[in-house]
Each structure stands twice: as structure tokens, then as C-alpha cells.
Amino acid sequence: MPVSSLTRPKETPVSRFPYERVGDAELLAALQLGDGDAAGVLWDRYAPLVRKVLRSSLGAGDSAVEDLVQETFIVLLRSSRDVRTGEAIRSYLVSVAVRLVFVELRRRRVRRWVMLTPKGDVPDVPTGPADVDGAVALLALYRLLGHLPDRRRLAFALRFIEGMEIAEVAAALRISESTAKREIVRAKAAILARGRRQEPALWEYLDRWKGDADG
């Protein structure tokens, strides 16, 4: 369901300019007045980013991703007045998406504990026929990520899969930059150690990481 259908315009509709000419500050002001058109523009602009963050954290083929994309924007609609500036929309959405991932991972652990699901397999990752090796390696990576504490897993995914800077990872996880860097370093060390023992499909990729000092 498109986000624009969740609300109806009440006041000050967004000008009918091409989307790229409507700034985030103007959209936020209109959204805070209940303008459904503004919600639709923000959905078009930022849903791909939110979806990408969720896929990097849960796995590309995870069945919960689309529901969590919508939940992220529902939170924005309900709490738009908590966003102070248009420049903060992107980081706010990423932060909400990350919090929803925490909730989802916790829910899955509980389901496994009470035997509602037989096992915690990583979902299949859709891929083209030419990238079979990459798909196998990605599945291996998500198996390793599944052994990490949630915050460490998310820090790793945001840094190395999403390519975020340390400051962005820290903001998304609501931790200090030093803590974010520490979590990333520990995640990388754990994946290097366990991957060499358990995941031959990742060996080629792990070799590329050996000399990196990035954290």
C-alpha cells in the first residue's frame, strides 16, 4: 500500500513541481500539516534507501523487508514533528529502519525459542544466473552474521554492505562513534575467524579484508 494512501491532504498541498524540485524541508513542513502528497513524494524519494538498509541487515530475499519498509514510513507519518529539519529525514528513516530490524531479530529469536519455527535458516537470495558464486558467498556471510549480537551485526551490515561512514553507523544505532567502530572491528574479526573455519565460499573475499585497517 503506498504511503500516500495512509493520509489525506488537509492543508497546504505540495506545489505540483517535478519531484526533484521539491526540497526535503518543504516536504517535511507539508507532512507535518498532514499532507498526503508530501508523504507520497518522500516515499518515492527514500523507500529505495530504506529497503536497501533492511535488505543489507536481514538478507536480500527476506520476506519481512517490504512490511518493514512500510512500517518505517508509518513511523515517519506518526512522528514527523520529531524530525527537526529536512536534512534529518534521511538519517531519521535509517534510524527507524534499524530499530525495526532490532525488533524483528528479537521476535525471530523468541519464535525459535518457543519452537514456532523449526530452524533459523537464512532466506534465499535472488540472483541472476551469472552471479551464482556471489549469491553463495552472500548466503555464507549472512550465516556468519547470524552468530553475532544484533548491534554488532547491524554495525557490520551498515558499514560494509551499505558503505556508511562510521558517523552514520553511530547515528543509526544511537551509539558513540568509538562504540560503533569497536563493534565493527569485533564483527569483522569474528567473521574472519569463523569464516575461515566454516565458510569456504567466503575465503576469497576474506583474503581481500586481511590487510584492511578499516573499522
User: What domains can you pick out in the chain, each with its CATH number?
Assistant: 1-122 (1.10.1740.10), 125-215 (1.10.10.10)
SS3 170: helix
Alpha-carbon span 82 to 92, nearest angstrom? 9
Angle separating helix axes 166-173 and 177-198, nearest 10 degrees? 100
Three-state DSSP class for residue 17: coil
Give the whole-angstrom CA distance, residue 181 versus residue 117: 34
75-133 pLDDT, tens per residue?
Answer: 999 999 999 898 999 999 999 999 999 888 888 766 554 444 444 454 444 444 344 45
104 vs 92: CA distance, rounded Å: 18
Residues contacting 180, CB < 8 A, separation 6+? 155, 166, 169, 170, 173
Of 37 and 10, the structure prediction assigns the larger pLDDT to 37
Check residue 25 and give its pLDDT. Answer: 92
- Are residues 92 and 75 in contact, defined by beta-carbon separation less than 8 angstroms? no
Q: Is the pTM of this model over 0.75?
A: no
